[in-house]
Amino acid sequence: MPKKVPVRLRVNGEEHELHLPPQRILLDVLREELNLTGTKRGCDLGTCGCCTILVDGEPRLSCLMLAKLAEGHQLTTVEGISPAGALHPVQKAFIDLGATQCGFCTPGFIVTAVAFLRDHPGATRDEISRALSGNLCRCTGYVKILDAVEAAARTLAPAQER
Amino acid sequence: MAGTSSRKSGSAGTPTPSSTETDLVKEAEATRASAGYHLIGKRTPLIDAALKVTGRAEYTDDIKRPGMLVGRLLKSVHPHARIRSIDVEEARRHPGVAAVLTGDRYPTPFGVLPMTHDETALAVGRVRFLGEHVAAVAAVDEETCERAFELIHVEYEPLPVYDDPKVSREPVPVKIHDRALRDTNLQKEVFQHFGDVPKALEGASQKVKLSGKYLGVSHGFTEPHCTIAEHTPDGRLTVWSATQVPHYLHRSLSEVLGMPMHRIRVVKPEVGGGFGGKSDPFPHEIACAALAIETGRPVKVLFDREDVFYLNHGRHPTQNDVTVGVDADGKFLAMDIDALIDGGAWSSFGVVTTYYNGVLAMGPYRFDNFRYHGARAYTNHPPSGAMRAHGGTNMRYTVESVVDEIAARMSFDPIELRLQNFLPPNFKTINEFRITSNSVRQCILAARDRSGWEEKYRKLPYGRGIGVACGFYISGSNSPIHFTPVFPQCTVHLKADMDAGVTIHCGAADIGQGSKTVLAQVVAEVLGIRMDRCRVAAVDSDTAPVDLGSYSSRVTFMMGNAAKAAAENLKVPLLQAASELLEVPPDRLEASEERIHVKERPSQGVPFHEALHKAMETKGALVASGAYSTKPLGGTFKGAKAGTAPAYSFSAYVAQVDVDPETGFVHVENVWAAFDCGRPLNPLAVEGQIEGSIHMGLGQLLSEGLSYRGARLMNPSLLDYKILTPMQMPKVECLLVGEDDPEGPFGAKEAGEGPLVAALPAVGNAIYDAIGVRLMDLPITPDKVLRALEEQRKKGGAVKPPAPTRPSKRTPTHGGR
């Protein structure tokens, strides 16, 4: 067994002090050590987008990141999107417009869309489609996902940009 | 609908029906609305959606049990070999290893169909595909499992590798399974002949034969397979698994482990997509349970994506020839089909697949002469299995291409040609399928009217095209897989208690399609209560009555009927109690808007909870049960039950494409998807099924395919196996024009699989309209388009096919049948 090293992670605003083998992958640590199972494992190879989290607010694939290298960064998982239970407009739109079916890809889409709309309020359907193209969904054909993110974009955009 | 207004309309633009045109979709909606249901037919968000969007929904891999071990399976490195010996002693002694099992421990063969048990929990004496599991290890962590694998010494004796189903059809020196037919490697062969096909073809004025070639396709669900098993000191085994068929898993665990079913508990947590890929009981599920029994500790087996591709069970690689003969007026006379499908190393659903590739081919058209020869070959490829629109997809592409080709050669409009040949409603087909509700005419007319077909067909510029295709699929397999003991296809239990909530217990597997939501809608509709009073309990074999599983598009129809019956039964004591409170006979009462009241005088009534509490005074919590059993259907000839269903879905899709003749890229711009699922119980979910089906169908058509070099899978990753991204999806318009089915719950039929089948040929036929070449080798990748265009240029130039010259009449949107 390789020697464990101290790893300090800041996830959803909470500090965690862990002792981990240095090769531990961030996705494994989130799911297995921190019980943040909302982040999903779909491929382990950076191909499906199910494990997307926000690192300093930017979408990143947690299956391709060593936990040790996440030190010093602000990590946000789907659990951190609506911490007090108040749904984010993206989550609300996903529910209302049928954008989640099996739900396994959903957390990855949610965090990607939340980050994208933060920087691009009022984005068009084409822009949203491009921004979400790193996330695979096999149930919805993306139609209702795009409907939902587009609807959330309208909710979030300042009035003059509508 | 939100988002529609700002959606890119595409360079083609989307014509809307002219104001003089009758709109079949609006008409169907108005007819349905007149029934006055308060929940049925309403766009209803999934009842578990809030958990899914917040990451709170619990999938198998999210479950942790105290002291849980990691289970891993050692994969075969040979596609076909005898196992001379396996030495696991060193691995067993390795620190951290709790158990190592090999195939001799639980050698009982199993499989989803009782007549073709040819799988084992772990390989017994022989491996038949690369990746078959030869040993199972349970250890403290994954690294220790990997180390144990290095310490397992397997001596293989390679056997001849069969990677071509054509070879499997001939006499072979080594049979992959003893049960293969004669001296070949064929798993199943089907011959059917109705009427007189040779004679009818001889008398035909036009005969068209096309051959289709199809690579295998993966389900591509996002959640890899995962199973947890725990054997507790009370002698009970609990298995949590990502499965579509908890009941078949339950049976297989019992058979292979030699443990009575009542000591086994199967739990289905949330499942991250199935599409048929989780509809077999799997060896890894049984091996996981075996490890749990061996160690006395909980064990989790989790697949990585490569494991998922190697377990496969996806759509069969297929070659099929379809010949159709027509008379001078375009009436279909006869259909002749030959199909050879690559089953891979196991049977799985193969008997069903072999039948479906033929028996589902005629609908939605009427034929009086039909012949089918189908064969499913064992090969040393990973096993093929059931995938969405199982057995109905590859054959459908060839059939609809043939119909399009007939129209082209005989100068018919392909919609008019189809309209002449549809099965009527309430009809018995030549192979004795009972057709009841059938709105295929409305489907094709709605798709025609909405797509602007007449301004586009053969009229768009070179490179742009429009195509049409129809579909037909079973709404639930009429025959249960197991014939004994006889019991209903689905049972639903309800409990209403002091809290004035209704708990719904049912074994039906929600795999994302929304069956839990349909359960709550149906129960709440019948009881006249809000949906939030209904909670759907987890699928747990200890508490949920049996449903046979989420396959063959059976759930809405069968579970819906069972739920309706259960709710009607629960309503009886409620009406009785209200009758006592109101001093009005129960037959004058009805339940709606959270009350039980006098039918003709809604103000005279009692709230739901008061009636419930009154009914509970002497009985306690109210419980009720409802069940659905299929009636006998089909003929008496061999294989007559295959493809029989209590109802069938119908569809007609029009697709519009833009083919770039320079690059060979096919861009699908629009799909107008007219679908007959009877009454859609939840249109939001039905649209989701249609849109997802189109995504999956277009993937198979344009970019997806399991590629083998010999027996080795070359693309077992989501990087190399190309699923469409949001950028490649066309604009989809769902046109729900079905009429109520006489036997479906509230008139509903399936919408889970049927929506896939027309998507592929509609686009294939649109490509033909765009560039005049017919591509029959899937997937249609740009290189194939360019090669076909090159051939076409050699033959005299790239042009669109000529426009039809007859018939001049256009079928009116409202015409007699």
Digit-coded pLDDT (tens) for B776-810: 999 999 999 999 999 999 988 778 999 998 765 78
B82 within a domain of the structure (yes/no): yes
* pLDDT at position B502: 98
Domain edges within chain A: 5-80, 89-161
What value does the mean pLDDT take over residues B580-595?
A: 97
Q: Provide the 8-state DSSP code for B801.
A: P
ipTM of the complex: 0.98
Give the separation between CA B130 and CA B752, rounded to whole angstroms.
32
The superfamily CATH assigns to domain A89-161 is [2Fe-2S]-binding domain (1.10.150.120)
Name the token pair of B532: 């939030």
* pLDDT confidence band for B103 (50 / 70 / 90): very high
Q: Phi first, then psi: what are they for B446, rounded to 5°? A: -65, -45
Given A44, A94, A146, which is nearest B49 (Cβ)? A94
Are the Cβ atoms of A125 and B51 closer than 8 angstroms? no
Check if the beta carbon of residue B318 is closer than 8 Å to that of residue B212: yes
Task: Write out the H or E segment, with its range, that includes residue A127.
Answer: helix A125-131
The three-state DSSP-derived secondary structure of B11-80 is: CCCCCCCCCCCCCHHHHHHHHHHCCCCCCCCCCCCCCCHHHHHCCCCCEHHHCCCCCCEEEEEEECCCCC
Are the C-beta atoms of residues A162 and A130 closer than 8 Å to each other?
no
B446 and B363 fall within a common domain: no
Residue of A nearest to B307 (CA): A43
Which backbone phi and psi does B811 adopt, to 5 degrees?
Answer: -65, 125
* C-alpha to C-alpha distances, B720 to A104, B574, B780, nearest whole angstrom: 21, 58, 16
Q: Give the structural domain span for B125.
A: 60-412
Last residue of a domain, one of B566, B600, B628: B628
Query: What average pLDDT does the structure give for chain B?
Result: 95
Residue B4 has pLDDT above 90, yes or no: no
Q: What is the predicted pLDDT for the residue at A84?
A: 83
Distance CA B696, CA B275 (A): 10
> Amino acid letter at B793?
R
Phi/psi at B534 (5° precision): -95, 130
Measured CA to CA, the distance from residue B774 to residue B784 in angstroms comes to 11
User: Would you say residue B28 has pLDDT above 70?
Assistant: yes
- Provide the CB-side half-sphere exposure for B94 (13 A, CA): 23
Residues in chain B within 8 Å Cβ distance of A111: none
- Rounded CA separation A136/B133 (Å): 29
B52 touches chain A (CB under 8 A): yes
Query: Hunting for tokens 């709404």 — which residue is that?
Result: B475
Distant-in-sequence, close-in-space partners of A21: CB < 8 Å, separation ≥ 6: A1, A2, A3, A4, A5
pTM: 0.96
Residue B342 and residue B452 in one domain: no
Residues B710 and B743 in one domain: yes
| Secondary structure of B629-651 as H, E, C letters | CCCCCCCCCCCCCCCCCCCEEEE
Q: Which residue has the tokens 């019948």?
A: B526
Which amino acid belongs to residue B549? G
User: In angstroms, rounded to a whole number, what is the distance separating the alpha carbons of residues B452 and B16?
Assistant: 8
- The verdict on B543 and B663 lying in the same domain is no
Q: Is B28 inside a domain boundary?
A: no
On whether both B427 and B484 belong to a single domain, the answer is no
Give the domain-ending residue among B603, B628, B653.
Answer: B628
Q: What is the pLDDT of residues B246-256, one digit of tens each?
A: 999 999 999 99
Q: What is the pLDDT of residue B288?
A: 98
Encode burial over B142-181: b for 16+ CB neighbours within 10 A, e otherwise. eebbebbbebbebebeebebbbebeebbeebeebbbeebb
Query: A114-118, B3-7, B40-44, B690-694 — which is least confidently predicted?
Result: B3-7
B2 pLDDT tier (thresholds 50, 70, 90) = very low
CB–CB contact A151 B3 (8 Å) = yes
Average pLDDT in the B665-677 region? 98
Dihedral sign (CA B221, B223, B225, B231): negative
CA distance A72 to chain B (A): 25
A9-35 pLDDT, tens digit each: 999 999 999 999 999 999 999 999 999
DSSP 8-state code for residue B201: H
Q: Is position B546 within any domain?
A: yes
State the pLDDT at residue B20: 45
Which of B175, B438, B405, B310 lies closest to B711 in space, CA to CA? B310
User: What residues contact residue A49 under an 8 Å CB cut-off, 6+ apart?
Assistant: A42, A61, A105, A108, A109, A112, A134, A135, A136
Strand runs (DSSP E) across B52-152, as ranges?
69-75, 81-87, 97-102, 126-127, 133-139
To the nearest 10°, report the CA torsion of B753, B754, B760, B763. -130
B806 token code pair = 């007859």
Residues B211 and B97 grouped into a single domain: yes
Residue B405 shares a structural domain with residue B422: no
What distance in Å separates the CA atoms of residue B365 and residue B369, rounded to the nearest whole number? Answer: 12
> Do the domain assignments include residue B559?
yes
Chain A interface test: which of B52, B146, B309, B698 (most A C-beta within 10 Å): B52
Establish if B83 belongs to a structural domain.
Answer: yes
Q: In this structure, are B70 and B192 located in the same domain?
A: yes
With CB atoms and an 8 Å threshold, state whether A101 touches B514.
yes
A42/A52 Cα distance (integer angstroms): 10
- Amino acid B320: pLDDT: 98
Chain A partners within 8 Å of B667 (Cβ): none
Chain B 709-768, residues with CB within 8 Å of chain A CB atoms: 717-719, 723, 725-727, 729, 732
Q: Which residues have CB under 8 Å from B89's CB, separation 6+?
A: none
Q: Please write the tens of the pLDDT for every residue from B486-502.
A: 999 999 999 999 999 99
Q: Is the dihedral of CA B328, B331, B335, B341 positive or negative?
A: positive
pLDDT of residue B808: 56
Backbone angles phi, psi at A136, to 5 degrees: -95, 140
> DSSP strand E in A13-102: where?
14-20, 52-55, 58-61, 74-76
Q: What CATH number does residue B620 fall under?
A: 3.30.365.10
Of the three residues B412, B437, B460, the one that is the final residue of a domain is B412
Q: Containing H/E element for B211?
A: strand B206-214
Please report the residues numbered 562 through 581 in chain B whose beta carbons come closer than 8 angstroms to any beta carbon of chain A.
none
Could you report the per-residue pLDDT of B503-548, keeping only the tens digit for each?
A: 999 999 999 999 999 999 999 999 999 999 999 999 999 999 999 9
Residue B1 predicted with pLDDT over 70: no
Q: How many CB pairs under 8 A join A and B?
A: 202
d(CA B617, CA B762): 60
pLDDT band for position A1 (50/70/90)?
low
Contact B708, B381 (CB under 8 A): yes
Considering the domain A5-80 in this protein, what is its CATH number? 3.10.20.30
CATH number at residue B319: 3.90.1170.50
B590 and B678 both lie in a single domain: no
Q: In this structure, is residue B793 part of a structural domain?
A: yes
In a domain, B7, yes or no: no
For residue B275, the chain A residue with the least C-alpha distance is A139
Question: Is B222 in contact with A105 (Cβ distance < 8 A)?
Answer: yes
Predicted pLDDT at B337: 98
Nearest-10 Cα torsion for B399, B404, B405, B409: 140
Provide CB contacts within 8 A for B428, sequence distance 6+: B434, B435
pLDDT surpasses 90 at B137: yes
With a cut of 60, say whether residue B5 has pLDDT above it.
Answer: no
Q: Give residue-wise pLDDT tens across range B271-297.
A: 999 999 999 999 999 999 999 999 999
What is the band of B551 on the pLDDT scale with cuts at 50, 70, 90? very high
Instruction: Identify the pLDDT of residue A157.
Output: 80
Question: What DSSP element (H or E) covers B504?
Answer: strand B502-506
Q: Which of A30, A79, A142, A143 to mutate to test the interface with B (most CBs of B within 10 A)?
A: A143
Number of H helices, E strands in chain B: 21, 32
CA distance A58 to chain B (A): 18
Rounded-to-integer distance, Cα B340 and Cα B778, Å:
15
In this structure, are B427 and B542 located in the same domain? no
Say if residue B320 is in the same domain as residue B438.
no
For residue B283, cis peptide bond before it (omega within 30 degrees of 0): no
Say whether both B485 and B438 belong to one domain.
no
**What's the total number of domains in chain B?**
3
What confidence category does residue B815 fall into, taking pLDDT thresholds of 50, 70 and 90? Answer: low
Distance of CA B672 to the CA centre of its chain: 21
